[in-house]
Structure 1
Amino acid sequence: MDISVIIPLLNEAESLPELHRWIKTVMDKNNYLYEVIFIDDGSTDNSWNCIEAIAKENPAVKGIKFLKNYGKSQALHAGFEKAQGDVVITMDADLQDSPDEIPELYNLIKNDGFDLISGWKKKRYDNVLMKNMPSKLFNWAARKTSGVYLHDFNCGLKAYSNEVVKNIEVYGEMHRYIPVLAKNAGFTKINEKVVQHQARKYGSSKFGMERFINGFLDLITIWFLSKFGKRPMHFFGALGALMFAIGLLAAAYIGVYKLYKLSVGEPAVLVTNNPWFYIALTTMVIGTQLFLAGFLGEIILRTKNNEARYKIAQLLHV
């Protein structure tokens, strides 16, 4: 199979028939062997009924219905597991991503040998204050932190080789950082393509300002996991050793100071009256706790079970 198109969605019943017709027109024009996988992420409108109707019309259409809303990352994870195409393309269901981009994205992966191509919506039709400015700040921080130099990490229109989607694990809210996950997994042929951004035709955006706050928090998480996810003791152990060393130095200072006072004949002072005593005690306790955190991290890493992060209510042709 040439292409798998994965489309996560939440309450997009109005746009689904038009999106399907558009994708089908592009696929038929280019004679691609394809599948379209719609992932209904707990919609409360008529989205699933629309997917069922479209699947009856076109056997290349498949569907996954979640029991409730689990988030875009979980939806992409489910789609990646089922994808069979040599090239996997993700896009949003709101018609803001253009299926006309598919042939060029396919060629960049299949013929030019890239592992991942990320869309760059250079010209946007979003609210400048509410979306564009926070997005620019977010993308700048992501570039500096991850070392992956893309202009638009959060663009839903991306293309991957099948090998990439089968070797990365998208979890939590990490869909924004799939290029970083790919890089950490060893896929380094990552590039971007300027894509057309269209104004939303139906409904309203499902994302608010909180996505940028969550995005920055996830950025810190993925930075930490990329550096210390496989060796937590290196991080916690180093901090623990530093804190313990400070405690030992403070304790040594207290001992030397007390011996000096005794040597010059001054009356002995209780150790607990010296503020350095509490500095030594606190830093040594914190150092011990950090060591324990590192040990626990190593144990969890070696004994964790891969539990399902979502429940599927229904499958369609998958």
Structure 2
Amino acid sequence: MLLPSLTVVIPVYNEEDNVKPLFEALQSALENYAGDWFVIIVNDGSRDGTSARLNACVDEYGERFQHIELQRNFGQTAAMQAGIDAAQTELIATMDGDLQNDPADIPRLVRELLERDLDLLQGWRKHRQDAMVSRKLPSRIANKLIQRVSGVKLDDYGCSLKVYRADVVKQIRLYGEMHRFIPVWMATVCPPHRIGQTDVNHRARMAGESKYGISRTFRVVIDLVTVFFFLKFRARPGHFFGSIGLWVGMIGGALMSYLVFIKLFLGADIGDRPLLLFASIMIIASLQFLTTGVLSEILSRIFFQTTNVRSYKVRKPLVCDLSDAPKETEKAQDSAPQTNATDNA
């Protein structure tokens, strides 16, 4: 085997018209892959004919294709996690099921991930074929927000076409709508220089309806708070709440000192001043933040002790031989700028 084994995970929801073309594109893209490969398509509670078409295509295309059907619509993040959990290979690739991502890019992404010795290679839809207002604008806003908060410098967090080292991506768990933050979550278990991006093909949607809109930008802002907390303070939550408590307490203490000064030395009446109420509230809030920090530290220590989660991970080498693997076309190589996450800072 020249290349590590690969599983392509694809969550789908109400994509009945894209199922057959998707199987054809995957078979064409991966049939010459120099290693074992499999495809796991996770049906996220589709309400149209997606399930029946998936079953028919799995029967037609053989055992390399697997269909996992969720009991109801849990969302793209949960569907993606279900596919990652089911994968048993050394590498995992993810992509959308709407055929806007091109499966033909996957073999090139695998080779590039190995050659650049990365843990995650993120696709970059440099020439995106979507509407400006409903898709491009929200995506650009979200990308800038994520870059600013997380410090992981990528140009396209929302592109689902990615290739991961399986043993690294399986160290993180995805919840809620955190699939768009996968590079950030990966940065909690691997250094940023092992997260890279490369230009990938992007096509206009030919069938079905988009599940995204401008409203997701507001959800990104909310999710970013959680991402920032876990990225910086997962193992030391007391520092997060304690820092806020100290700053609030310092401001409240300074205001209260000012009021005491003018009361004692200037004889001013401070009993009916709004500033007194404000300073008192800030001091109380400071104590609450500090207490929350202590409690969160206790909970954090209980979690790490009872779950036996280690504070370190040992890297496992990938065994492969790139020297004899089939080369991609010169056009494909030239169209893929090798940009590390840190290069775009």
For this structure pair, what is the TM-score category when the shorter chain's length is used for normalisation? 0.7 to 0.9
Question: 1:283 is matched with which residue?
Answer: 282
Aligned to 2:231: 226
Paired residue for 2:123, among 113, 119, 125?
A: 119
Q: Distance in 1 between matches of 2:167 and 2:191?
A: 9
Please tell me the root mean square deviation across aligned C-alpha atoms, in Å. 2.2
User: What is the correspondence of 1:252-291 to structure 2 with a 5 Å cutoff?
Assistant: 252-260=257-265, 272-291=271-290
Q: Cα 1:258–1:216, aligned 2, differ >3 Å: closer, same or farther?
A: closer
Deviation of residue 11 (structure 1)?
0.8
Alignment equivalent of 2:175, drawn from 164, 167, 171: 171
Give the equivalent residue in structure 2 for 1:240.
245
Deviations 1:173-215 (A, max 9, x none): 1111111111121243111111111111111101122122212
Q: Which whole-Å CA distance do the structure 1 matches of 2:153 and 2:127 have between them? A: 18
Structure 1 residue 32: deviation in Å? 3.4
2:328 is aligned to none
Aligned length: 300
C-alpha separation between the residues in 2 aligned to 1:96 and 1:2?
24
Aligned counterpart, 2:152: 148
| Structure 2 partner of 1:292 | 291
Residues 301 and 70 of structure 1: CA distance in aligned 2, closer, same or farther (over 3 Å): farther
Runs of 5+ unmatched residues, structure 2? 308-345
Instruction: Indicate how the Cα distance of structure 1 residues 294 and 25 shifts in structure 2: closer, same or farther if over 3 A, else same.
Output: same
Which residue does the alignment assign to 2:57?
A: 54
Verify: 1:5 aligned to 2:8, yes or no: yes
Contact 2:138/2:213 (8 A) holds in 1: no
Give the Cα–Cα distance (whole angstroms) in 2 for the partners of residues 211 and 246 of structure 1. Answer: 36
**C-alpha separation in 1, matches of 2:294 and 2:176:** 24
Tell me the CA shift for residue 92 of structure 1.
Answer: 0.6
Alignment partner, residue 141 of structure 2: 137
- Structure 2 contact 263–269 (Cα < 8 Å) conserved: no
Q: What is the aligned partner in structure 2 of residue 25 from structure 1?
A: 28
SS, match of residue 29 in structure 1: coil
Per the normalisation by structure 2, the TM-score is 0.80
Summarize the Cα distance change of 1:247–1:138 in structure 2 as closer, same or farther, 3 Å threshold.
Answer: closer
CA 49–250 in structure 1, closer or farther in 2 if over 3 Å, else same: same
CA shift for structure 1 position 259: 3.4
Q: How far did residue 97 of structure 1 move?
A: 0.9
Task: Decide whether the 8 Å contact of 2:133 with 2:214 is kept in 1.
Answer: no
The aligned counterpart of 1:84 is 88
Deviations 1:140-191 (A, max 9, x none): 2222222222111100111111122211222111111111111121243111
> What is the SS of the residue equivalent to 1:191?
strand
TM-score (norm 1): 0.86
Q: Deviations over 1:214-236 (max 9, x none)?
A: 12322232123212232221121
Q: What CA distance in whole angstroms lies between the structure 2 residues aligned with 1:124 and 1:283?
A: 48
Distance 1:208 1:114, change over 3 A: same
Q: Structure 1 vs Structure 2: percent identity of aligned residues?
A: 33
Aligned residue for 1:14, secondary structure, equals: helix
**CA–CA separation in structure 2 for the residues paired with 1:133 and 1:66:** 32
Structure 1: stretches of 5+ with no match in the other structure: 307-318
**Partner of 2:17 in structure 1?**
14
Tell me by how many angstroms 1:117 deviates: 0.8
Look up the equivalent residue of 2:284 and give its one-letter code: V
1:41 equivalenced with 2:40 (yes/no):
no
Aligned to 1:214: 219
TM-aligned CA deviation for residue 271 of structure 1 = 5.5
Cα distance in structure 2, aligned partners of 1:141 and 1:254:
40
Say which SS state the counterpart of residue 17 (structure 2) adopts.
Answer: coil
1:114 CA drift (Å): 1.5
Q: Distance in 1 between matches of 2:141 and 2:273?
A: 47
- Measured in 2, the distance between the counterparts of 1:172 and 1:32 equals 34
Evaluate the alpha carbon distance shift between residue 44 and residue 112 of structure 1 in structure 2; reply closer, same or farther with a 3 A threshold.
same
CA distances 1:284-312 after superposition (whole Å, capped 9, x unpaired): 11111212322343344345699xxxxxx
- Shift in CA distance, 32/15, structure 1 to aligned 2, threshold 3 Å: farther
Residue identity matched to 2:210: S
Given the alignment of the two structures, is residue 196 of structure 1 paired with residue 201 of structure 2, yes or no?
Answer: yes
Question: In the TM superposition, what whole-angstrom CA distance separates every residue of 1:65-118 from its partner, at most 9, and x where no partner exists?
Answer: 111111111111111111122221101111111111011011122343211111
